[in-house]
Amino acid sequence: MTTASTLTDRYVEAALHRLPERQRPDIEKELRASIADAVDDRLDAGSDPAEAELAVLTELGDPARLAAGYADRPLQLIGPALYLDYTRLLTALLATVVPAVAAAVGLVRTLQGGTALPVIGDTVGAAFTAAVHLAFWTTLVFAIIERTSAPRRTPIRPWTPAALPEPPSRRARYGELVTETVLFVLITTFVLLSPVVSTETDAHGEPIGVLSPWLWETGVVYLFLALVVATLAFSFVRYYARWSVPVAVTGSIADLAAAIMLIWLAATHRVLNPAFVQAAGWPSSVPQWIDTGLVVLSVGTLIHIVTQGISRALRR
């Protein structure tokens, strides 16, 4: 019966090595006794010894499953108690971090003077890497929580109906629209008046615009204003017309283009007029801070546009 006993040994060994050390001796003794009892039962019924052992072990099933039962270990990566928290966190991370990383990498590579294809490749690659990392580490952390937290936990914070996502009320959205319009008028007025109205004047008494003359020489300022107008126009369309995918996508593209353009202008220091900075006697750090502030603001806008677009689309 050498081979048959080897089979039991192998089975017991396979089950035990998945268990904590201190539980092993006791479980081994009991498991061996149970298997022996079951085999004896079959032998009494006239079964062949090898066959009996094979049948008993087959009935006991996968030793890994048996060991999980003994150790009271979950047979799932993330259980129902944690699953919703897990998906919510992962969705939030993916929807915010991935676009931010993509925008940052795309911007830096563009500023470094990359050509279109490699820039797109790097951006997509960085976004993909970020997504894989987020998914892996979040999953790992939750799998660890699943295996370490106190047995049979209750949800950390009980769900209440107050947690239901609120559809933006028409009134609130109208407030947004008004704010946007006012801001648009202020910004456009400021941009268009800046070459002729200024606190500083040159030797001939001509005003020194606060914004870089380069913007007018190249016509970039009109392109930027056109994008801002388009953005505002789409806000009105979104408010007064029914939500539809083409409107949402086109509107988002206009938003994105305006934000990206501002990032580009600020990052390449093409917003402020150096002559104005000099005339006003600002320290050199001020334009730096203004440019950085504009970039941060625009990146924030980018993230907001993307996450809002995703959440709207998900809610449909």
Binding stretches for another protein (CB under 8 A): 26-27, 29-31, 33-34, 36-38, 41, 59-61, 65-66, 69-70, 72
To another protein, the closest distance from the beta carbon of 56 in angstroms equals 8
Query: How far, in Å, CA of 78 to CA of 41, rounded?
Result: 40
Closer residue to another protein, CB minimum distance, 38 or 223: 38
To another protein, the closest distance from the beta carbon of 70 in angstroms equals 5
Query: How far, in Å, CA of 272 to CA of 293, rounded?
Result: 13
Q: What number of other Cβ atoms are within 10 A of residue 162's Cβ?
A: 6
Query: How far, in Å, CA of 229 to CA of 224, rounded?
Result: 9
**CB 269 within 8 Å of CB 291:** yes
Q: Which residues neighbour 202 within 8 Å (Cβ) at sequence distance 6 or greater?
A: 208, 275, 279
To another protein, the closest distance from the beta carbon of 145 in angstroms equals 22
Which regions of 83-161 does DSSP assign to beta strands (E)?
A: none
Query: How far, in Å, CA of 206 to CA of 195, rounded?
Result: 10
Closer residue to another protein, CB minimum distance, 61 or 175: 61
Closer residue to another protein, CB minimum distance, 16 or 221: 16
Please tell me what DSSP assigns to residue 22. Answer: G
Query: How far, in Å, CA of 295 to CA of 111, rounded?
Result: 13
Closer residue to another protein, CB minimum distance, 39 or 260: 39
To another protein, the closest distance from the beta carbon of 155 in angstroms equals 22
Closer residue to another protein, CB minimum distance, 64 or 280: 64
To another protein, the closest distance from the beta carbon of 19 in angstroms equals 11
Q: What number of other Cβ atoms are within 10 A of residue 258's Cβ?
A: 24
Closer residue to another protein, CB minimum distance, 57 or 130: 57
To another protein, the closest distance from the beta carbon of 30 in angstroms equals 5
